[in-house]
Amino acid sequence: PRSVSPAADPAVISPQDPTLLIGSSLVATCTVSPDFPLKAEDLYWTLNGRRLPAASYAALGPSTLSVALARLNGSRQQSGDNLVCHSRDGGILAGSCLYVGLPPEKPVNITCWSKNMKDLTCKWAPGTEGETFLHTNYTLKYKRRWYGQDNTCQEYHTAGTYSCHIPKDLALFTPYEIWVEASNRLGVAVSDVVMLDILDVVTTDPPSDVHVSRVGDLEDQLSVRWSSPPALKDFLFQAKYQIQYRVEDSSEWKVVDDVGNQTSCRLAGLRPGTVYFVQVRCNPFSIYGSKKAGIWSDWSNPTAASTPRSERVAGGCDPKVGEQNTTLRRELKQFFGWVKKHAYGCSNLGIKLYDQWRVWLQKSHKTRNQVGKEP
């Protein structure tokens, strides 16, 4: 059978798909194929669908029309701006993509963390400006210091736009060199090299099973308990915890810093009859004796609980009852002032002292009531 040659393109644009720096100028030409009976005066140009003014055209021959573009702005789309040559009836004869932008900037602020001492996730920022107007590709590379070969991270966008996850095959007790390469049609930029040991960047998932409950009828306290992170149970490490809590109708969190390595804590000095949201986070440190401070986990999901309502003394015409209640409140206020000054956060000493003080207060309160009932 006779082979059929493909139909010739109606026209050719030159240059085809050029890459240009912002601010550049360009003269492009559209030359119609001899197979098509079209002349230069039968043509016009559009850029991204908008017709370009005839004053920017010049006929460079019977079937060639040029267009001059000055001081180009960055491409509106990363796939390039569409420069199209049309016939008088609007038909498309040929197209070219203009890639107008900037070379990439050196990536900065590389930070990395490991969730299980076998993996590593890193993120970075794309330089001071970031916007190049061109598709810019980022590649995270890593190698063992001194004797390693370059490796390329494969799993991108795992912790945001500029991030990558290395799932396995990392060695402990070995420093790694890590860097990011940015490349686009106008060039390549390489970040500074970060040096790290996996042991120094371990973090965990937030503590699980966070429970918040009332402490008997104490209207100003809540008990918080949680489980330590399971991912690190096989490794030698110390953990410290932080708690933050807020009132339901407030966005301001109060932080309890000195929880230490306990997995429970009592919050005191709370408002009676109020819903509180509580979160806990963990910092695993001194893993196999690492000297680094450790990285805080994210906060756990908020857990809610309410303190008991304040008991009102019912009925009775004896004004002394009201006075006693006011005195009790004043004494409580004084005690909390003292606790805030001398027994921070989850100090066991503070809680024991406080409980003893409450018991003493209730006893003396009962005694006073009985004395008041005698004729």
- Predicted confidence at residue 333, as pLDDT, reads 65
Confidence of residue 350 (pLDDT cuts 50, 70, 90): low
Q: State the average pLDDT over residues 45-66.
A: 92
Higher pLDDT, 186 or 354: 186
Higher pLDDT, 188 or 288: 188
- Predicted confidence at residue 327, as pLDDT, reads 61
Its CATH class, for the domain covering 108-200, is mainly beta
Q: What is the pLDDT of residues 4-31, one digit of tens each?
A: 445 568 999 999 999 999 999 999 999 9
Neighbour count for residue 1 (Cβ, 10 Å): 3
In the block, which residue shows the tokens 């199209």?
84
Its CATH class, for the domain covering 11-101, is mainly beta
Q: State the average pLDDT over residues 355-373.
A: 59
- Predicted confidence at residue 35, as pLDDT, reads 83
Please report, for the chain, the start and end positions of each structural domain, with discontinuous segments joined by +. Answer: 11-101, 108-200, 204-307
Q: What is the pLDDT of residues 143-170, one digit of tens each?
A: 988 877 898 999 999 888 899 999 888 8
Q: What is the pLDDT of residues 205-264, one digit of tens each?
A: 888 889 999 988 888 899 999 988 776 666 667 788 999 999 988 889 999 887 878 889
- Predicted confidence at residue 321, as pLDDT, reads 47
Are 11-101 and 204-307 equal in CATH topology? Answer: yes
- Predicted confidence at residue 262, as pLDDT, reads 84
39-48, 71-80, 289-298: which has the minimum mean pLDDT?
289-298
- Predicted confidence at residue 2, as pLDDT, reads 43
**Over 80: is that where the pLDDT of 55 sits?**
yes
- 57-64 contacts, C-beta under 8 A, 24 or more apart: 60/29, 61/31, 63/31, 63/32, 63/34, 63/38, 63/39, 64/29, 64/30, 64/31, 64/32, 64/40
**Over 60: is that where the pLDDT of 318 sits?**
no
In the block, which residue shows the tokens 């009976």?
37
From 242, 210, 244, select the one nearest 227 (Cα to Cα). Answer: 210
**Over 80: is that where the pLDDT of 199 sits?**
yes
Mean pLDDT of the chain: 82
Q: At what angle do helices 319-342 and 348-373 cross, to 10 degrees?
A: 170
Domain 204-307 matching CATH 3.40.50.620: the answer reads no
